[in-house]
Structure 1
Amino acid sequence: MTKHHWKCQQQCCQLEHFYPMLKNTKELWVQTGSIGSLKDNRRFIPVHDIVSSIDPVVTGILPVVHALSRCDSTSSFFGIGKKSVFNLLRLKPSRFSNLVALTQDDVDSAVVAAREFVAALYDSKYKFKKCHNDLNLLRHQLAINKDKSLIKLPPCESVFKQHVLRAIWQSKVWVSANLANPNNGSPCAFGWKTAQHDKLEPSVSADIADDTDEIS
């Protein structure tokens, strides 16, 4: 530690996003791992080195991508892990710079940006690029041309939009973590509903069949 530069050690997530905001912090380390019965697996990761090696566009939208591709409050896309997500993002980050819309107030723009990203996850070679503006069409094309099972198809539009709403709310919570009194709105306006004992659970759109409906 010097007079004008600090070396910090933290246990936190989304540090790659927030590190550029820490103007007087020269180094930032994050502790990971735990002590096992036979070995101490703890180690420190230099966040400052990681940030310097990543495109600034990526660090700016990293919380959004994390929320879209699964976190503690959002679900994952079957068979698509974090490594696949990051590889796509790192390949052409400028193509997905509009994902920052998920931290803003224009929901329609956020859905469009998220759709482009998710479509690319399922069709990374853009063989069905004309269908990337409608996940229902992309599902159909992948099903008939790739013979993919249902669990490996992208979500339908109605389910996807609810997922994006939840990702929007979670992204806003993260990017406003440095504010004293952030106004992120109610989660019930972003894909959640209040269940028993005031617990929150994901809401579904009206065009999904109720599990109590009988099949005739």
Structure 2
Amino acid sequence: MGKNFCHYNINNICRNLGEDKSLALPLFHAYTGCDTTSCFLAKGKKSAWRVWKSYPEVTQAFLHFVDHPFRAVDVSCEHFRHLERFTVLLYDITSNLLSVNEARRELFCKKKRSLENIPPTQDALLQHIKRVLYQGGIWTTCRQAQPSVPPPEGWGWTMEDNHWAPVWMTIPEAAKVCKELIKCGCKSESGCVSRCRCTKAGLPCTELCSCNCQK
């Protein structure tokens, strides 16, 4: 068996975790990234585990979907809101925000985070959660003799060229449709002038700008 063989007592591990957390583990694993679900960039299992410890309320959301496999979800669902809050904390453990869209704005505009280091949009998060629930449903029904597994369509997957591909989002990418991402760095004490990028685009200056205009 090799010199690095280790024996772990699964019963002791479950006892230390407690029943609820033990039952919720499959959904936690799928949510934070497994073979069929994407992970959050640079957010590993240890980081997610620390957030879980600081926000135990998300356990009830995991357990709900364990008890109700393949249950549909939308952004107004209470359990979606718990998962959304968990995601916000994954990117900023000190945040008091509930919405990933609001957290994106704050981290990008005020804390100058790069786009790679802010949460996904609410639309993209919903598609991720659908894939998580699909995989979680397969795991939680695997002991049934004849589990009723729906087709992947509608669960964050779509058929492309005879194979299943993830649906990353259902709204256009912001960078392609939002001129509001334009920002300026004008240095004039009196405010922006005709050479300002925002002025040329016919847009007011925003919190993204480093100019002296009133925002």
> What is the CA distance between 1:173 and its match in structure 2?
0.7
SS of corresponding position for 1:43 = coil
1:94-136 deviations in Å (ceiling 9; x for gaps): 453222233422413342232122122122223xx2x31x211
> Which residues of 2 match residues 1-216 of structure 1 at below 5 A?
40-103=3-66, 104=68, 105-108=71-74, 109=77, 110-126=79-95, 129=96, 131-132=97-98, 134-196=99-161, 198-209=162-173
Aligned residues of 2:58 and 2:83 also touching (Cα < 8 A): no
Q: TM-score, normalised by structure 2?
A: 0.70
**Cα offset for 1:139?**
0.3
AA matched with 1:205: M
Q: CA deviation at 1:81?
A: 0.6
Query: Judging changes above 3 Å, is the alpha-carbon distance between structure 1 residues 115 and 92 closer, same or farther for their aligned structure 2 residues?
Result: closer
Residue 179 of structure 1 and its aligned partner are, at CA, apart by 0.9
Query: Which letter maps to 1:155?
Result: P
User: Which structure shows the bigger proportion of residues in strand conformation?
Assistant: 1
Structure 2, unaligned runs of 5 or more: 178-215
Structure 2 counterpart of 1:48, which letter? N
The separation in 1 between residues aligned to 2:143 and 2:61, in whole angstroms, is: 22
Contact 1:57 1:94 in 2 (8 A): no
Structure 1 segments unaligned to the other structure (5+ residues): 1-34
Between 1:176-185 and 1:152-161, the stretch displaced more is 176-185
How far apart, in 2, do the equivalents of 1:54 and 1:92 lie?
15
Q: TM-score, normalised by structure 1?
A: 0.70
Pair 79,169 (structure 1): closer, same or farther in 2 beyond 3 Å: same
> Does the Cα contact within 8 Å between 1:122 and 1:154 map onto a contact in 2?
yes
- Counting matched residue pairs gives 171
Identity %: 24
* Paired residues of 2:27 and 2:133 also in contact (CA < 8 A): yes
> Cα RMSD over matched residues?
2.5
Contact 2:124 2:170 in 1 (8 A): no
SS at match of 2:138: helix
d(CA) in 1 for partners of 2:34, 2:166: 14
Counterparts of 1:184 and 1:107, CA distance in 2: 16
